[in-house]
């Protein structure tokens, strides 16, 4: 092999061992092949989740890893002491929020984007077709826009973490009920949000519904959501926030 050819070969080998962010999920008209990174790495312990035990978005990411049967290290970020606004954390998550997921040399932010990344990397809980992937994505944008915003804010108020008056509370109550009605209506059509199998859209939505009672929402008033919640909790690998998120760091 000539000098130049050797250089190219060496470059290719090094590139292969580095964990890369998932390219937007490779789409095939009927199903996707397993992402290359899984085969290359094979390292089951490579993820480290930085989060806070009471954080819904942190739970969502931990839940995805648990449902994928993928062990992870956990770093407790002490939000009460402002650890998420310190320079050493801001280099990992520019928004100064939890969660943050480390995969090898890269740090990922925004729980819904992390779910998409993991679905691509681990080849699980994704839509099976291009169309289904698009539906999954629509749900995940909707969850954060319409469902998570009022429910998380009401929960924060109930826990004394956010202050706002009764008028604003009524507004969030109304928004939350509107979003729950949409969810309930859609779940009348199929067992899971996008069809016959659970996807990251269901995981994303569950991560909010889990905390609805704390926000003062009575899920039993939404029978399809209540049934879907039960189905979700029966999935292999399901675990509660208390089981997944310790109050201190836990390294593998």
Ligand X SMILES: N[C@@H](CCC(=O)N[C@@H](CS)C(=O)NCC(=O)O)C(=O)O
Footprint of ligand X (CB under 6 A): 52, 55-57, 79, 84, 96-99, 110-112
Q: How many CB atoms lie within 10 A of CB 32?
A: 18
Please, what is the minimum distance in Å from the beta carbon of residue 202 to ligand X? 16
Q: Give 111 or 133: the residue with its C-beta nearer to ligand X.
A: 111
Contacts of 201 (CB under 8 A, 6+ apart): 135, 136, 139, 140, 143, 192, 193, 194
DSSP annotation of 222 reads S
Per the CB < 8 A criterion, the answer to whether 129 and 32 are in contact is: no
Output the smallest distance, CB 56 to ligand X, in A: 6
95 burial type by CB count under 10 A (0-12 exposed, 13-18 middle, 19+ buried): exposed
Q: State the nearest-atom distance from the C-beta of 8 to ligand X, in Å.
A: 39
| Least distance between ligand X and beta carbon 99 (Å) | 6
Residue with tokens 């699980």: 124
169: Cβ contacts below 8 Å, ≥ 6 apart? 154, 157
Report the C-alpha gap between 88 and 92 in whole angstroms: 7
Q: How far is the CB of 223 from ligand X (least distance, A)?
A: 28
CB environment 115-143: b (16+ within 10 A), e (fewer): bbbbbbbbbbbbbbeeebbebbbebbebb
Least separation in angstroms between residue 131's CB and ligand X is: 25
Strand order in the sheet with 72-76: 72-76, 47-51, 100-103, 106-109
Q: How many C-beta atoms surround the C-beta of residue 157 within 10 A?
A: 18
């Amino acid at each position: 092999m000539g000098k130049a050819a050797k250089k190219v070969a060496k470059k290719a080998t090094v590139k292969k061992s580095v964990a890369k962010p998932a390219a937007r999920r490779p789409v095939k008209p009927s199903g996707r092949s397993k992402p290359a990174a899984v085969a290359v790495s094979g390292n089951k312990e490579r993820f480290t989740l930085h989060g806070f035990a009471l954080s819904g978005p942190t739970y969502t990411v931990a839940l995805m890893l648990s449902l994928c049967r993928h062990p992870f290290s956990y770093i407790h970020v002490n939000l009460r002491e402002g650890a998420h606004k310190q320079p050493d954390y801001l280099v990992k998550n520019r928004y100064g929020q939890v969660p943050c997921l480390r995969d090898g040399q890269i740090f990922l932010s925004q729980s819904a984007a992390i779910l998409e990344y993991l679905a691509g990397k681990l080849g699980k809980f994704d839509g099976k077709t291009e169309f289904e992937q698009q539906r999954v994505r629509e749900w995940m944008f909707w969850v954060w826009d319409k469902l998570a915003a009022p429910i998380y804010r009401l929960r924060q108020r109930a826990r004394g973490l956010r202050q706002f008056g009764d008028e604003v509370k009524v507004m969030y109550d109304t928004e939350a009920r509107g979003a729950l009605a949409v969810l309930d209506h859609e779940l009348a059509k199929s067992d899971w949000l996008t069809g016959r199998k659970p996807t990251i859209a269901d995981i994303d939505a569950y991560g909010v519904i889990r905390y609805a009672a704390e926000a003062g929402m009575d899920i039993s008033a939404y029978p399809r959501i209540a049934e879907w919640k039960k189905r979700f909790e029966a999935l292999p690998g399901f675990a509660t926030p208390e089981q997944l998120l310790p109050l201190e760091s836990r390294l593998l």
